[in-house]
Amino acid sequence: MQLEQSTLNTINQWLNGNYDQETKQTIKDLLNKESFTELTDSFYRDLEFGTGGLRGIMGAGSNRINKYTIGTATQGLSNYLNKKYSGEKISVAIAHDSRNNSDYFAKITADVFSANGIQVYFFSALRPTPELSFAIRQLGCKSGVMLTASHNPKEYNGYKAYGSDGGQFTSPDDKMVMEEVASIKSIDEVKFQRVDSLVQLIGEDIDQRYLDEITKLSVSPDAIKNQHDLKIVYSPIHGTGITLVPKALAQFGFTNVTIVDEQSKPDGNFPTVVYPNPEEKEALTLALKKAAEIDADLVLATDPDADRVGIAVKNSDGEFVLLNGNQTGSLLINYMLSAWQKEQKLTGNEFVVSTIVTTPLIKAICDAKGVEYFDTLTGFKWIGKIMTELQGKKTFIAGGEESYGYLVGDLVRDKDAVISCAFIAEMTAFYKDQGSSLYEALVNMYVDYGLYKEDLVSLTKKGKTGAEEIKAMMEQFRSNPPATLGGSEVVTLKDYELKKETDIRSKSSKELDFPKSDVLQFITADGSIISARPSGTEPKIKFYCSVNAPLASLTDFKNTEASLNEKIKKIMEDLQQ
């Protein structure tokens, strides 16, 4: 294998440019070893500053996370802020998670902002992503940055950029920031000289404000008083959740929280798990073991930056089962709407937001309770965008997406595992106070609205060739959509890239009122919804599948569930033929 000329040109820029000697030596060592695959992946492109910021493997190179790619991103963001808010006082907030080098990258980010004359509010130690969103709004910042790669493996890190509303940038500002970053052609354009007087440390004062505001949102304080000793097992999976989740649970009134000791210490190597992802059963192994030991009522586990939470509860046989993101999100929204309904707080002006690949059960719940429901693209920034657009006009109750991210109340503009842990615990206490487990509440919800089952299959395709394979797969689905899936005719094709919805039978089309996104959605005659979407943050293509059937009674649950699981299996087989 030989290096392409464009890749070689970028390598030479780094070898001859204003980069440190350690970086240059790393590149020389790879050249001497003829590690052409690694060099290609490290230099074949600039790490893309996408609509959510940066995410990638740490290391030397233009396609890696390092001091220089972080610095370039921050310089571009600084240029955008100084143009957009010319003549105004500009401030930003910065936080970081427990990943290796996150604190270092946070410092680089602060250096560059301050060098560009921007006031920096810098969290003195690691903090959850949602608290950063809260701080931006509390402190009146124009922007903010979180150094995190969320639940990716330990080799990764990332840079999430936020706007003045505390949400990740959306159109048109996201494109404006991306253009500013892309316009930087030399590392010499990046100002790395920190101005100490413009960097102010923050921490516990924001923590307490945040916790106090969360506590005000509680809807079942009496149930918590009655069930304060609910047995909760919590794991931060070596991440930032340890800083605030136990405090939030305590402030809500829970007195019997057991923390998984082996995973309580922040550690960017994530030594007890393969992936620090609460969507993976393996990541909850230690928490489930502890839960079995103490006969817990609820298991909670958050990812490294504490914006996602996975949960486990006991089923009707007394065995701990993991709930997926669709189940938890539906339960949480059903609980909140029911509580508001009971208190006669629903005025017709409230709303809920979810995404196009999240269970349709949430819409069914909203429709039944007369609450307005909004659908949006995948990614919580789109939920945040709708919240900001409707601020002062309508009341946001809750929202969520299938990838274990939920939000109650409008304190932040991103998914929030701190708030979610508190409300999942409150919800569990509420049902227990009524003589029901959370699992029984789940099945009863299915009896009320229908049994919805979802599954997600991810195919990983790494590196340059992987990206090309994913693109080819999407082109094939777009030009030659399947005629049937799971034995049912495909009747509707939604192409969010072309912003077009097509009725396959009549060949008629109408425009989709969504921003452009590379997502295809197939809807079958029997109401199944199947989506294909390349991940924006990982080298994966994801297939989402949702099927449903009426559930007459609790006794029919297992048979109906088995039937729907079989249907999903057949659909997924059809997709990958």
Rounded CA gap, 188 and 11, in Å?
A: 16
Instruction: Name the active-site residue from 42, 62, 78, 150.
Output: 150
Supply the pLDDT for residue 537.
Answer: 65
Q: How confident is the model at residue 1 (pLDDT cuts 50, 70, 90)?
A: low
What CATH number should be reported for the domain whose range is 45-202? 3.40.120.10
Alpha-carbon gap, residue 81 to 83, rounded angstroms: 5
The yes-or-no verdict on residue 459 having pLDDT over 90 is: no
**Is the model's pLDDT at 104 over the cut of 80?**
yes
According to the model, what pLDDT value does residue 252 have? 98
* pLDDT of amino acid 124: 96
* Model pLDDT, residue 468: 86
Using CA atoms of 157, 160, 161, 165 in order, give the dihedral in degrees to the nearest 10: -160
pLDDT at 576 over 90: no
Mean of pLDDT values over 220-233: 98
Average pLDDT rounded to a whole number, residues 457-471:
84
Does residue 203 surpass a pLDDT of 70?
yes
Q: What is the pLDDT of residues 372-417, one digit of tens each?
A: 999 999 889 999 999 999 999 999 999 999 999 999 999 999 999 9
3-state secondary structure 455-474: EEEEEECCHHHHHHHHHHHH
Amino acid 192: pLDDT: 98
Concerning whether 150 is annotated as a catalytic residue, the answer is: yes
Give residues with Cβ within 8 angstroms of 132, minimum separation 6.
93, 94, 95, 123, 144, 145, 146, 162
pLDDT digits (tens, 9 = 90+) for 243-257: 999 999 999 999 999
Q: DSSP characters for 26-60?
A: HHHHHHHTT-HHHHHHHHSSPPP-BTTEEEEEBSS
CATH number at 452-575: 3.30.310
Q: What is the pLDDT at residue 462?
A: 80
How long a stretch of residues is the chain? 577
Percentage helix, strand, coil, to 5, in the chain? 40, 20, 35
Question: What is the location of CATH 3.30.310 in the chain?
Answer: 452-575
Reported as type and span, the H/E element at residue 412 is: none
Residue 533 CA: distances (Å) to CA of 83, 246, 477, 496, 543: 34, 36, 11, 10, 7
CA distance readout (Å), 406 to 11, 188, 213, 241, 421:
42, 41, 17, 15, 10
- Statement: residue 61 has pLDDT above 90: yes
Asked if the 226-449 domain carries CATH number 3.40.120.10, the reply is yes
Report pLDDT for 400. 97
pTM: 0.95
DSSP string, 128-185: -HHHHHHHHHHTT-SEEEEE--TTS-TTEEEEEEE-TTSSB--TTHHHHHHHHHHT--
User: How high is the pLDDT of residue 493?
Assistant: 95
CB-CB contact of 490 with 575 (8 Å): no
**Beta carbons within 8 Å of 372's beta carbon, 6+ residues apart:** 350, 351, 352, 366, 394
Chain mean pLDDT for the chain: 95
The predicted model gives 499-517 an average pLDDT of 93
- Give the percent of the chain with pLDDT over 70: 99
For residues 323-346, average pLDDT: 97
State pLDDT tens for residues 268-293.
Answer: 999 999 999 999 999 999 999 999 99
Parallel/antiparallel/unpaired status of strands 257-259 and 298-302: unpaired
Asked if 315 and 439 count as a contact pair (C-beta separation under 8 A), the reply is: yes
Query: Which residues of the chain are in CATH 3.40.120.10 domains?
Result: 45-202, 226-449
pLDDT in tens, 157-197: 999 999 999 999 998 999 999 999 999 999 999 999 999 99
Of 312, 268, 315, 267, residue with least CA distance to 290: 312
